[in-house]
Amino acid sequence: MSNQIEPIKDPGLPAHVHRQADIDPAAADRAERQVATLFWISALGAILLIVSYVFIPQDEFIFIPVMGNQNAHQLGLGLGMAISLFFIGMGAIHWAKTLMPDTEVVAQRHEFRSSDEDRKDFVDTVKSGASASALGRRSLIKRSLGAALGLSLVSPIVLLRDLGPLPGKELEKTTWKSGTHLVTDPGNRRIKASDLEVGAVAQVLPEIEDPEHRKLSDIAKDAVLLIRLRPAEFNLEPEKLAMTHDGIIAFSKICSHMGCAVALYEQQTKHLLCPCHQSTFDVTRAAKVIFGPAARPLPQLDITVDNEGYLVARKPFSEPVGPSFWERDSQ
């Protein structure tokens, strides 16, 4: 056909260009010396490492321009190791590039597909093997085998059951009860309303008998943030306002999104920000979510003072704190 598109022809592999070291013995000797020098530098690196390990004390600092104060021990070890390894590599590659053969070699590929005859034999073997086992016809065997294999996979899952207890209602409970005193964290001291100035923030925990052995898993649900505003700054529904005391409002510090500590309070805007995913809660409106991925406000703790003026919880949290879970009845 005359209008057949004819591709441009393959001119074949370009001719091999000899390197200097291939044709000039002096250049080859020079290359050898260069490779040897690189290996000797590596050896010096190893010596630097050993010297640093033995002779530089661990608390020795030196000033290095740009980098500032550096731990000399760590720097000597690291640089020694880096030099010793890096220059072995440089030497080996320089050796390969200058002195080892650089003629490109052509090897042939073979298609992976076998000859049609072999393939047919193979397929026939598989088929006859399958029919000899009679798996297709003997459905009783097929089904019972399937059931047996399936059930055998269940056993390791069953065996993992004791990894942990069942959650029960635990995710919904905290240590807070009616009348629990609020104590500072750290410090475990009871606090009075007057301890907090307007604009101040404090992290508190419920008072327990043995604060020295407070469990992290309790803190993960109990941590509460106290914030004091001027009462006029609140924009709350009456029942939420009744949960505050003299301008002090208390929220769970555990983010309702993924459980991080909601620790960033912006005094100007009265916003609480979670540093993990930037969910932003408006303190004046009962920690309503005004930005970010959190879908629920931070649960508010109902607080009041006892006879001596110390802050206490009037009631436990009325909803589970922390991130959502399937059984959470959010209404």
Strand, helix or coil for residue 125:
helix
Q: Which of 31, 72, 91, 191 binds another protein (CB under 8 A)?
A: 91
Smaller CB separation from another protein, 73 or 234: 73
Scan residues 13-52 and list those touching another protein (CB under 8 A).
Answer: 13-14
Smaller CB separation from another protein, 52 or 300: 52
Beta bridge partners of 190: 183
- Binding of another protein by 206 (CB under 8 A): no
- DSSP letters for 56-97: S-TT-EEEETTTEEEEHHHHHHHHHHHHHHHHHHHHHHHHHH
Which residues, in sequence order, are CB contacts of 47 under 8 Å at separation 6+?
Answer: 80
- Binding of another protein by 65 (CB under 8 A): no
Q: Which of 206, 243, 296, 312 binds another protein (CB under 8 A)?
A: 296
- Binding of another protein by 277 (CB under 8 A): yes
Q: Which of 29, 47, 53, 137 binds another protein (CB under 8 A)?
A: 53
Question: What's the token pair of residue 69?
Answer: 């104060």
Which residues, in sequence order, are CB contacts of 16 under 8 Å at separation 6+?
Answer: 102, 103, 104
Q: Which range, of 122-130, 132-140, 142-150, 253-261, touches another protein by CB under 8 A?
A: 253-261
Q: How many residues bind another protein (CB under 8 A)?
A: 98
Nearest residue to 227 via CA among 249, 251, 252: 249
Q: Which range, of 19-27, 73-81, 130-138, 141-149, touches another protein by CB under 8 A?
A: 73-81
Cβ–Cβ < 8 Å for 254, 216: no
Taking the C-alpha atoms of residue 91 and residue 35, their distance in angstroms, rounded to an integer, is: 5
At 64, give phi and psi (nearest 5°): -125, 125
Q: Which of 6, 116, 197, 210 binds another protein (CB under 8 A)?
A: 6
Least distance in angstroms from the C-beta of 131 to another protein: 28
- Binding of another protein by 182 (CB under 8 A): no
- Binding of another protein by 67 (CB under 8 A): yes
Least distance in angstroms from the C-beta of 231 to another protein: 27
Q: Which of 31, 182, 191, 294 binds another protein (CB under 8 A)?
A: 294
- Binding of another protein by 107 (CB under 8 A): yes
> What b/e readout covers 103-141, taking b as 16+ CB neighbours within 10 angstroms?
eeeeeeeeeeeeeeeeeeeeeeeeeeeeeeeeeeeeeee
State the DSSP H helix or E strand holding residue 248, giving kind and residue range, or none if neither.
strand 248-252
Q: Which range, of 119-127, 136-144, 260-268, 302-310, touches another protein by CB under 8 A?
A: 260-268
- Binding of another protein by 154 (CB under 8 A): no
Smaller CB separation from another protein, 199 or 323: 323
- Binding of another protein by 166 (CB under 8 A): yes
State the DSSP H helix or E strand holding residue 42, giving kind and residue range, or none if neither.
helix 25-55
Q: Which of 191, 289, 303, 313 binds another protein (CB under 8 A)?
A: 289
- Binding of another protein by 136 (CB under 8 A): no
Taking the C-alpha atoms of residue 160 and residue 153, their distance in angstroms, rounded to an integer, is: 12
Taking the C-alpha atoms of residue 108 and residue 111, their distance in angstroms, rounded to an integer, is: 10
Least distance in angstroms from the C-beta of 144 to another protein: 29
Cβ–Cβ < 8 Å for 255, 220: no
Q: Which range, of 134-142, 145-153, 216-224, 307-315, touches another protein by CB under 8 A?
A: 216-224
